[in-house]
Amino acid sequence: MDPQPRGPDWMPITPKTGSLFHADSHARHYSRNQLVTSLVVYAQQQGVTSYTGVAEKAWFEQIQNFGWKCRALGPCNGLEPTALVALQIEIEDDTLARLQDGGVYAPCQFRTLYSRDVLNGWEMGQ
Instruction: Work out the pLDDT band at 17, boundaries 50, 70, 90.
Output: very low
**Per-residue confidence (pLDDT) for residue 121, from 0 to 100:** 53
> What is the mean pLDDT of the segment spanning 95-102?
96
Q: Domain spanning 10-123: which superfamily? A: Gcn5-related N-acetyltransferase (GNAT) (3.40.630.30)
Residues 44-73 have pLDDT tens digits of 988 999 999 998 888 899 899 999 999 999
Position 124 pLDDT exceeds 70: no
Are residues 48 and 42 in contact, defined by beta-carbon separation less than 8 angstroms? yes
% of the chain at pLDDT higher than 70: 69
More confident of the two residues 49 and 23: 49
Distance CA 94, CA 96 (A): 6
Position 21 pLDDT exceeds 50: no
Whole-Å CA distances, 113 to 22, 89, 97: 28, 23, 25
Domain residue extents for the chain: 10-123
**Per-residue confidence (pLDDT) for residue 65, from 0 to 100:** 93
